[in-house]
Amino acid sequence: MRAARRLQHAGQPDLFGEVAGTGEGPVAAIEGLRYDNDFLSRDEEAELLRIVQGLPLKEMRYKEYTARRRGIGFGGSYDFDTHRLKPGAPLPDMLHPLRDKAAAWAGIAPGDLTHALIAEYRPGTPLGWHRDVPDFEDIVGVSLQGDAVMQFRPYVPGASASRPSALEFLVEPRSIYVLRGPARWDWQHAIAPTETLRYSITLRTRRHRTP
């Protein structure tokens, strides 16, 4: 409960998504954000950790920066220099059960979750403010082993990069979230530096642009 104590202030959301005394919180406050902290069993988590820890994770690059996160992508890799999604290896069969279960939870056809990113957050690893690249539509995130504080602030083009978080909640191991519609397009999100080792598996649908 360390983070909950650190971040809860009167009238502000605690990290489990509740605003003290109101029964409402960031998950309810952000349209298109849905969260379930009891998505995977402990056995499913252990099996996924075995798979993920056997993958050749590499330090992730964003333009000239090398992030502290290590990861591997399937279904295409986004080139931040050319702003294009380059073809990539499909999701390995061993991750299909997770994809299918996540798709059912999110109400998405499994085959539409064409992109996956497996990311490792060693203790102290942050993920900076961003919206996902426009090639993707829905984002479904599953967490393993450690928890994370997920932060949100409205997306305001041209606004200061140092704006603080407006809402945040604790994303627990074995949980799932989906960012869809307003949660995906009208908000930026970030992950505060993690206190313990955490893995996330984010699955994405392609965005179908209207001509």
Ligand X SMILES: O=C(O)CCC(=O)C(=O)O
Binding site for ligand X (CB under 6 A): 117, 119, 127, 132, 141, 189, 191, 200, 202
Round to whole Å and give the CA distance between 15 and 8. 7
Q: Which is nearer to ligand X, 85 or 127 (CB)?
A: 127
Q: Which is nearer to ligand X, 108 or 149 (CB)?
A: 149
**Which residues fall within 8 angstroms of residue 9, CB to CB, at 6 or more apart?**
none
Q: How many other C-beta atoms can be found within 10 angstroms of the C-beta atom of residue 191?
A: 22
Give min distance, CB of 191 to ligand X, in A. 5
Q: Which is nearer to ligand X, 117 or 178 (CB)?
A: 117
Closest CA to 148 of 166, 179, 130, 122: 122
Q: Which is nearer to ligand X, 27 or 119 (CB)?
A: 119
Give min distance, CB of 82 to ligand X, in A. 19
Give min distance, CB of 176 to ligand X, in A. 10
Give min distance, CB of 194 to ligand X, in A. 9
> Running DSSP on this structure, what letter comes out for residue 166?
S
CA–CA distances in Å: residue 84 to residues 81, 134, 135: 8, 10, 8
Give min distance, CB of 20 to ligand X, in A. 25
Round to whole Å and give the CA distance between 202 and 71. 11
Q: Which is nearer to ligand X, 18 or 194 (CB)?
A: 194
